[in-house]
Structure 1
């Protein structure tokens, strides 16, 4: 019985390297080593049978804890994968086929693609957790799947940053946005963003390893050790590689994007508060606050965990296990939140959604009713014939300019409507 428990426990200890796709330690975890050391030292005490019984219970409890953690992770990852695939797939479908391509929608289309691909590839990670000692997809998929996971995570973060800059420009410099903010420029910036994401993620291809043990056992794992020349490998080189990757991801995927998002939405909030006549400005500020808090909450723990690895700080069990799993789940969950926060609360998207979803479900439910309105549309006052309109349309931002020869009363009404339109910004 003891042999069986030890065998399964060692298997689960070794499977920890497959559990976290983005960060892989080059050695066993400290908690794993301590468990093995405790077991070894216990074999030398006088009462051997008592020691074996106690260690059987210890390893049995550890095994059950690991099984429970694996089950929880599989459940959470499955929910994230399903919700993210459906939600972002809906975003891609609506924006790609139902709406006219503007600069703003190009940002959200690329954001949806990045999140959709990540949630789709998350199924491979779930399969690896279920079968930690068998990779059925071959060498090419092993080399590329972790790269694609990080690629889409990085692209998602960068597009969130670009969206914040785009909104800030639309609010602070509407005329500049009208002149230079074109679909062509947005497409070029999107291509550059994907290239930058590929460069940041490319080291994962070199450090991803595929080893075939026999017909029933194969491994796909991320390690900074060159296994083809491990005999002459310098452990310090491995640490430098690991730390370089951690710092690169921290700066490019959190420090710079979060700082820019914070500054941009802070400037937008100040602009909203300056316009005292804006209707619903409290709602606008709440949405901006929600965007910043969600981004920070989803990614802060993830990078704190990485910096702990960078500094070689030891965390005792179960603190390390809780931090590892919670941080990764929150980071992955961001791909589910993006469609809700950035897209579904937009007025133009909801109009297309109300037209499209009932059409697809009409033959199934035969109710013939549209989805209820999420946000009540404001009734704009009638426009006069001599009105000279210049609209710079962003995601939920519409700046209205009028000719200077209009009567003062109409100009006042125009200004009030401009403030009302700015309040719809999300």
Structure 2
């Protein structure tokens, strides 16, 4: 989200006059659509947190999904900032501190989501290919250490937003929340601009590699190996967890790809019209918000007939979405190591 606070806040009407009719309409439509999206995400993610955190036995699978839903819930809480920003024509009214905090939280949610999906795919791989090792090493305490490390790495990778994010007044009295990669001075000199561009490029490469490309290759590799094993043994992994995981992974990458495209386009803003980057910003904003709020709903509906969903209690559906059926799907995993290893 690209846009802080001023003493004389321009009215929404004055800001809208500075934008084209098409841009104003698209901003308004996106903001209106985000309102019910926020409500669905708040209720849906809250319900999942309650069930996973308080109603289900703590296992490796429920622990990983509990933190994944926590990432979605964190992003859901940020949606009101997106809505206000869109209504105001990307005029930021929350001040410099919130400019830094909100964008840092967006980055933390993005990194932690993809890291957790990667951990889940590695967990599925080890269960099918190394069941004996899982018997003694795949435990809740070990998984908890990995999750804590994941959160720390996500926060460290998102820390640059606390340093580089700032608010700045532009033409017409509009305040924008943007990155100043030069840090020292206004970045008007050639040297400052070159330094800022190099820092921007370095951060983009790190964000793209660790936030999309490498995790995607890892996840694709893990599921490919699992699929080949199932095909070799003429087994079908038709359990709900696998369908849930595939759905979550696909929705995540489709939602966050515009995020990386937007930041990539910002590197070439001189060659591209501003309308292109603004359009990409709107797409990434809506796609990421929609993913965070509606992905939990996909857990319920994947491979389920519409009428069957409403005939079953919501609580039962939520629990069934996270039941580990590996023990019944893969003969090698029968026994204790085929199911979750519980904490003491």
* Superposition TM-score, scaled by structure 2 size: 0.75
Give the corresponding residue for 1:407. none
The separation in 1 between residues aligned to 2:68 and 2:54, in whole angstroms, is: 16
Does the alignment pair 1:207 with 2:164? yes
Structure 1 residues 204 and 339, CA, compared in 2 at 3 Å: closer, same or farther? same
Equivalent positions of 1:384-399 (< 5 A) are 396-399=324-327
Give the corresponding residue for 2:186. 230
The separation in 2 between residues aligned to 1:261 and 1:395, in whole angstroms, is: 21
SS at match of 1:222: strand
Structure 1 residues 417 and 110, CA, compared in 2 at 3 Å: closer, same or farther? closer
Does the alignment pair 1:158 with 2:115? yes
Does the alignment pair 1:116 with 2:46? no
Which runs of 5 or more structure 1 residues have no equivalent in the other structure? 1-15, 20-58, 347-353, 359-368, 378-393, 402-413
Q: In angstroms, what is the RMSD of aligned CA positions?
A: 4.0
**172-181 or 311-320, which deviates more:** 311-320
Contact 2:91–2:174 (Cα < 8 Å) also in 1: yes
The separation in 2 between residues aligned to 1:141 and 1:327, in whole angstroms, is: 20
Does the alignment pair 1:267 with 2:225? yes
Greater Rg by CA? 1
1:240-278 alpha-carbon deviations (Å, 9 max, x no partner): 122122111101110111111111111121122223254
Give the corresponding residue for 1:221. 177
1:319 deviates by 5.1
The separation in 1 between residues aligned to 2:134 and 2:215, in whole angstroms, is: 21
* Superposition TM-score, scaled by structure 1 size: 0.62
The separation in 2 between residues aligned to 1:304 and 1:147, in whole angstroms, is: 18
**112-121 or 71-80, which deviates more:** 71-80
Give the corresponding residue for 2:210. 252
The separation in 1 between residues aligned to 2:152 and 2:237, in whole angstroms, is: 41
1:196 deviates by 0.5
Give the corresponding residue for 1:330. 287
Contact 1:224–1:242 (Cα < 8 Å) also in 2: no
Contact 2:34–2:79 (Cα < 8 Å) also in 1: yes
1:130-170 alpha-carbon deviations (Å, 9 max, x no partner): 3344524x443333121112111211111111111111111
Give the corresponding residue for 1:382. none
Give the corresponding residue for 2:142. 185
The separation in 2 between residues aligned to 1:252 and 1:416, in whole angstroms, is: 33
Higher relative contact order (CA 8 A, sep 6+): 2
Contact 1:208–1:220 (Cα < 8 Å) also in 2: no
SS at match of 1:100: coil
Aligned length: 312
1:225 deviates by 5.0
Give the corresponding residue for 2:3. 18
Structure 1 residues 107 and 243, CA, compared in 2 at 3 Å: closer, same or farther? same
SS at match of 1:339: helix
